A and B are shown apart, each in its own frame.
Chain A
């Protein structure tokens, strides 16, 4: 069991080259509008995990359970339709494609290669679960690792947008662990039944492309 865990650590590392550092998923627009600051960042991330985190964890978790390829592709379409904001949907699709391609090439797993070669619309959360499942990682562990790497990427984005030092950033990440586990627990259901209420974040994602200057892709 040690080898799959080591492989999972590598896949969930923020240095894994899928372009995660290029996206702020609406956070840059929230900061620019004066709605998000360092004082409320930890609470914001906890609620983000409750809403978006639970939703993505559900698709990650379902994908790790060894679905047939048609079911998995249908979940990807569904997740794409649930990501209303083009910015977060395109980011998720671009990172998903890269993640799947890299994992397929490194592992030489036939199923992953076949899935990657389809060229279909895929999303990062579903790809992460699918790859983790192929390595023999259980679904809750895959979902927890996915959320851990998502939060690491978001906190890293916040370090570039807010007066947030390394020590404080890592304290926030450390303190988020119970919320990650909570989201994983809530995600143990049919992904299509998971609720997510993020109207302000959706508006922020949609407005990001219109900012005068941007650090992150839109």
Chain B
């Protein structure tokens, strides 16, 4: 078992209320160049994996801290590619821990995850929100390299995701997809769809009535975007937030839908216009 490669980002407020990025630790393959000022005021960080993807047996660790009042946007520089595993023990993993202090606001907007044929990957993420902290977090999973004819040819993809707000769990996902063992096209799983996505929108401390109203507003967008090729649903969490979920035959439609929800959610949460993060390549 090799020691994980760590990346530790800390967003802190300085005088005049602006947010600065301190890269407290970055070990290869991680690379963050610097923070950029996003048009909507957040400090934007591009997380770059220099190896071009996640390799067999990679063990990656990401920690993101937002101090009180810090405003941050974190994205990737491209899709997260999970390369083929050479043995059943060759499981790549990534662990992400996020802490957002009171008044902090984080947008976590990575590109899609693409598990290549034969890959094995486990991802774990835990987000802790103090009272008054806000979060928009999306993720999007592709079935493989579709342009090469790959669809659900990976060995295993496992995910564990947890959001804790004011000390209580508000959302927990724990799933494993093993296409060679369990049929993914079962209606109990994905049915005829191949891509899936989630977008969590949270602010610790807002009352349930706020989220129910917001859920109804976003559901209008969900209805407008849904068709026989893509389905969206919006639902309140047990407290402090909601989740938007989508399943689609086509990945592009899912990506553009996420952007629509993000724009609406950002406007409602903080009254700022969402602009897609500039990418550096």
In the assembled complex, the Cα of A48 lies from the Cα of B186 at a distance in Å of: 9
In this assembly, does B236 line the interface, its C-beta being within 8 Å of a C-beta of chain A?
yes
In the assembled complex, the Cα of A197 lies from the Cα of B161 at a distance in Å of: 13
5 nearest A-B residue pairs (beta carbon): A206-B233, A47-B188, A197-B175, A203-B233, A81-B169
In the assembled complex, the Cα of A198 lies from the Cα of B236 at a distance in Å of: 17
In this assembly, does A121 line the interface, its C-beta being within 8 Å of a C-beta of chain B?
yes
In this assembly, does A51 line the interface, its C-beta being within 8 Å of a C-beta of chain B?
yes
In this assembly, does A200 line the interface, its C-beta being within 8 Å of a C-beta of chain B?
yes
In this assembly, does B182 line the interface, its C-beta being within 8 Å of a C-beta of chain A?
yes
* CB-CB nearest in chain B for A83: B238
Residues of B within 8 A of A30 (CB): 187
Residues of B within 8 A of A44 (CB): 186-188
From A4-12, A64-72, A138-146, A188-196, give the one contacting chain B.
A188-196
Residues of B within 8 A of A202 (CB): 233, 235, 245
A193–B187 contact, CB under 8 A? Answer: no
In the assembled complex, the Cα of A193 lies from the Cα of B174 at a distance in Å of: 8
* CB-CB nearest in chain B for A199: B196
B182–A50 contact, CB under 8 A? Answer: yes
* Binary interface encoding of chain A residues 174-217 relative to chain B, with 1 for a CB under 8 A from any of its CBs, else 0: 00000000000000000011111111111111110110000000
Closest beta carbon of chain B to A175's beta carbon, Å = 16
* CB-CB nearest in chain A for B211: A86
B186–A47 contact, CB under 8 A? Answer: yes
* Binary interface encoding of chain B residues 203-241 relative to chain A, with 1 for a CB under 8 A from any of its CBs, else 0: 000000000000100010011001000011111111000
In the assembled complex, the Cα of A119 lies from the Cα of B237 at a distance in Å of: 19
In this assembly, does B276 line the interface, its C-beta being within 8 Å of a C-beta of chain A?
no
A-B contact pairs, 15 of them (CB 8 A): A40-B187, A52-B188, A78-B169, A81-B170, A84-B173, A84-B243, A85-B233, A87-B235, A200-B187, A200-B190, A202-B245, A203-B231, A203-B232, A203-B246, A206-B219
In the assembled complex, the Cα of A196 lies from the Cα of B182 at a distance in Å of: 12
In the assembled complex, the Cα of A164 lies from the Cα of B215 at a distance in Å of: 34
Closest beta carbon of chain A to B123's beta carbon, Å = 13
A-B contact count (CB 8 A): 113
Residues of B within 8 A of A33 (CB): 231
Closest beta carbon of chain A to B34's beta carbon, Å = 36
B234–A47 contact, CB under 8 A? Answer: no
15 further A-B pairs in the complex, CB-CB below 8 A; given A47-B187, A48-B188, A85-B235:
A33-B231, A35-B192, A44-B188, A84-B171, A84-B235, A192-B174, A197-B189, A198-B188, A200-B187, A200-B189, A200-B191, A200-B231, A203-B232, A203-B247, A209-B219
In the assembled complex, the Cα of A81 lies from the Cα of B243 at a distance in Å of: 12
In the assembled complex, the Cα of A192 lies from the Cα of B196 at a distance in Å of: 23
Residues of B within 8 A of A87 (CB): 235
* Binary interface encoding of chain A residues 4-25 relative to chain B, with 1 for a CB under 8 A from any of its CBs, else 0: 0000000000000000000000
Closest beta carbon of chain A to B93's beta carbon, Å = 15
In this assembly, does B166 line the interface, its C-beta being within 8 Å of a C-beta of chain A?
no
B236–A86 contact, CB under 8 A? Answer: yes
Closest beta carbon of chain B to A106's beta carbon, Å = 29
A 34-50 contacts with B by CB, 8 A:
35-36, 40, 43-44, 47-48, 50
Closest beta carbon of chain B to A23's beta carbon, Å = 15
B176–A197 contact, CB under 8 A? Answer: yes
Residues of A within 8 A of B175 (CB): 195-197
Name the one of A89, A199, A206 contacting B190, with C-beta atoms under 8 angstroms.
Answer: A199
Given contacts A81-B238, A207-B222, contact A200 B247 (CB under 8 A): yes
Closest beta carbon of chain A to B79's beta carbon, Å = 19
B235–A210 contact, CB under 8 A? Answer: no
* Binary interface encoding of chain A residues 72-95 relative to chain B, with 1 for a CB under 8 A from any of its CBs, else 0: 000001101111111101000000
A206–B235 contact, CB under 8 A? Answer: yes
In this assembly, does B193 line the interface, its C-beta being within 8 Å of a C-beta of chain A?
yes
Residues of A within 8 A of B232 (CB): 203, 207
In the assembled complex, the Cα of A172 lies from the Cα of B268 at a distance in Å of: 47
Interface-centre pick from B182, B187, B232, B237 (highest chain A CB count, 10 A)? B187
Residues of B within 8 A of A77 (CB): 168-169
In this assembly, does B158 line the interface, its C-beta being within 8 Å of a C-beta of chain A?
yes
Given contacts A200-B193, A207-B222, contact A36 B234 (CB under 8 A): no
In the assembled complex, the Cα of A16 lies from the Cα of B222 at a distance in Å of: 37
Residues of B within 8 A of A52 (CB): 188
Residues of B within 8 A of A51 (CB): 188-189
Interface-centre pick from A30, A48, A81, A199 (highest chain B CB count, 10 A)? A199
Closest beta carbon of chain A to B83's beta carbon, Å = 22
Residues of A within 8 A of B176 (CB): 195, 197
